[in-house]
Amino acid sequence: MSVARGRALVEIKRNPTRSVQIGRITIGAGHPIASQSMTATHTQDVQATLEQVEDLRRAGAGVVRIAVDSKKDTAALPAIREGTEANLAIDLQENYRLALDAAPFVDKLRYNPGHLYHHEPTKPWQDKVKFIVDVAASHDCALRVGVNCGSVDPAKKEKFAEHDSIGPMLASALEHCELLDSLGFTRYCVSLKDSDPRKVIDVNRRFAEARPDVPLHLGVTEAGMPPDGIIKTRIAFEQLVSRGIGDTVRVSLTVPNARKPEEIAAAEMILADIAAGRVRSVVDYGLSSLNIISCPSCSRVENEAFIELASQVKEMTAYASQHAITIAVMGCRVNGPGETDDADLGLWCGPTHVNLKRRSQELGAFPYDAILPKLREELDRIIQGMA
């Protein structure tokens, strides 16, 4: 993935994850980040489900996930498989044995470690995972270990402090990876999701440090309605993807069924913005040279001159391209004041003036036609201090 900095394109260094094939696509190992979504129809309503699968596929979904809660749901899968070329995943809920009926018609099985305790509660969870693995291996399916903040493995939860929601998630994911590896099955990815973007960032960074070889599926649960749900998800993705973490993503939005493709559009937009440096938060691309980021233009922008200013900043600062300095250009008073605190130099744009900051220190507000010389003065001061 490339990010725009000055006039150059710089590659984001992706985590060295293994490759995992899911139907016609492959994630991990530097392959393009795949966006995906999940159907909201009743799976037994074959026509409605198939229509939504196709809508999502045409929108660009690399994977489409379908919920399977019963034998009646699995009975609908042959017709759904027959009617689409989409790469299909199923979400095994509480009955892990449904994998056997579903696997011949899908490309990936997703199970939640916390849900393995509901069906056959006295049976060791390790035996249940081995059953799923055997089914997946027999039917050419990939696996996703889906760890969710709302349904964490109870045996793990009791070992951590009550306020620590990340510890149990991380421990559960790592334990399942260890078991899958010991069974000789490595065609899997992991997801660790929460409704709080900050926790999503934290737990995925920690997992990626512990298991940089395992592909990660990123998402924020219960993100909500757009635009807020998109913004929450964007914050998490910006901090993770910019660091090379994440191999497939989902934006979970509260929208009517007919608007489900908006999840794919939002995911693709966020990934494109990260690649171009258009972000709402200050991100660390791990670069040893100039890093210019600018937020996506939206309805909050109070002066369209912000868009031209962002381009002018990139051109003007090209002379400093070899210095490890971050400059953030933010388009409004909502995100600007706080989101520029982590940048070496930050600009947030109002209706008539541009506010200039050096990290959290405010340096003043200047007219649009006067801001570039002021920015250059401060940039030169930083460069001189680095000498």
- Predicted confidence at residue 382, as pLDDT, reads 96
Of 357, 344, 289, give the one whose Cα is nearest residue 3: 289
pLDDT at site 299: 52
Contact 303, 368 (CB under 8 A): yes
The string of DSSP codes covering 76-112 is HHHHHHHT--S-EEEEE-S-GGGHHHHGGG-SEEEE-
In tens, the pLDDT along 249-304 reads: 999 988 888 999 999 999 999 999 999 888 888 877 777 888 888 776 665 667 77
Q: What pLDDT is recorded for position 255?
A: 86
Q: Which tokens hold the place of 4?
A: 């725009």
Q: For residue 300, what pLDDT is reported?
A: 61
Which pLDDT belongs to residue 298? 61
Q: Quote the pLDDT of residue 181.
A: 98
Q: pTM (2 decimals)?
A: 0.82
317-369: pLDDT as tens digits: 999 999 999 898 888 776 678 768 888 999 999 999 999 999 989 999 999 99
Bond prior to 168 in cis (omega within 30° of 0): no
pLDDT of residue 2: 41
pLDDT attached to residue 283: 79
Mean pLDDT of the 231-240 span: 93
CATH number for domain 2-276, candidates 3.40.50.170, 3.20.20.20, 3.30.70.270, 3.40.50.1820: 3.20.20.20
Does the domain at 291-386 match CATH 3.30.413.10? Answer given as: yes
Higher-pLDDT residue of 87 and 156 is: 87
State the pLDDT at residue 189.
98
Q: What average pLDDT does range 365-386 have in this prediction?
A: 96
Identity of the residue numbered 69: D
Q: Which pLDDT score, from 0 to 100, does residue 207 have?
A: 98
Does residue 4 carry a pLDDT above 60? no
Residue with tokens 């069906």: 119
Note the pLDDT tens digit of each residue in 43-86: 999 999 999 999 999 999 999 999 898 999 999 999 999 999 99
**324, 266 contact by CB (below 8 A):** no
203-232 pLDDT, tens digit per residue, is: 999 999 999 999 999 999 877 788 888 988
Question: Per-domain residue ranges for the chain?
Answer: 2-276, 291-386
Q: Is 3's pLDDT higher than 70? A: no
Specify whether the CB–CB gap between 374 and 359 falls below 8 A.
no
